Every structure is written in structure tokens, then in C-alpha cells.
Amino acid sequence: MNQQHQDERTRIREAMDRLLAGKATASNGSLTVVALAAEACVHRMALMKRHSDLKNTFYERVRDETPQVPESEKRLRDTVTKLKKTIANQKAEIEELRQQVTRLTLASAVLIYESDRQAERAPASDNVVPFRRSTT
């Protein structure tokens, strides 16, 4: 490892300590990788690629040392909750539509039956030729 790489790692570790202590100097103080990179004056992608072990250590420390959940985890939990609600709503809507199809099918059958019965009961005029109902 070269000296620049070591300096970055040192700055990242110091930034971790400041963020976890709530004494951010160069970032907004949130417990995210973006804030950690800003606090350490390191490009975010450098933190994600070259120092992924420190990123993972940061998130472990956040979970262990603070009572709060990381922002990324909060967003994921919110998304999961919304998706579960959406799935439940869609299942209910599908069930309602299935019941409606059944009711409409029964109503159609009753109307066809009633129509056929009325046609049988109605007296045929001498000049009217009834059409036969198609079976398709």
C-alpha cells in the first residue's frame, strides 16, 4: 500500500469516529457512506471500491454503537412496507374482480334463460318469423 492509500484509510477511520460521536465537521452528520466520504474528504466511489472493508466496518459500528438504523436500511424497510401493502391491495382487488366475474356470469345466464322463456311464452304473430338463437 502506498502512502496516499494509507492516508485515505486513516482519514476514513477518523471520520467514522467523528460521525459516530455526532461531531461531524465536513458533512451533514448522517450515518451514511456519502456522509462518511464527505467527512473523510474522499471520493465516494473510492470509499465504495478501494475501501469497502472500511465501509462495511462503518455500517457494523453504526448498528452496534448507535440505537438508530442506518438511512439505507430505513429506506429499504419503507420500500418493503409499501410493496407489501401494494401486494395486499392487488390480491384483494384480484379476488374482488374474480367474484364480480362470477356474479356477472350468473346474471348473464339468468338473463338468457329469462329471455328464452319469454320468447317461448309470447304468441307468435302470423307474419313474424323468429330467429333461432346461435349456440356459439
Summarised one tens digit per residue, pLDDT across range 53-112 is 999 998 888 888 877 666 777 889 999 999 999 999 999 999 999 999 999 999 999 999
pLDDT, position 88: 97
φ and ψ of 23, to 5 deg: -120, 55
* Joined grid coordinates for residue 70: 442506518
More confident residue, 126 or 15: 15
Please say whether the dihedral angle defined by the alpha carbons of residues 79, 81, 84 and 85, taken in this order, is positive or negative.
Answer: negative
Structural contact between residues 113 and 102, judged by C-beta atoms closer than 8 angstroms: no
Interatomic CA distance for residues 53 and 56, integer angstroms: 5
Cα angle 25, 22, 63 (rounded to 5 degrees) comes to 125
Residue 103: CB partners within 8 Å, gap ≥ 6? none
pLDDT, position 13: 92
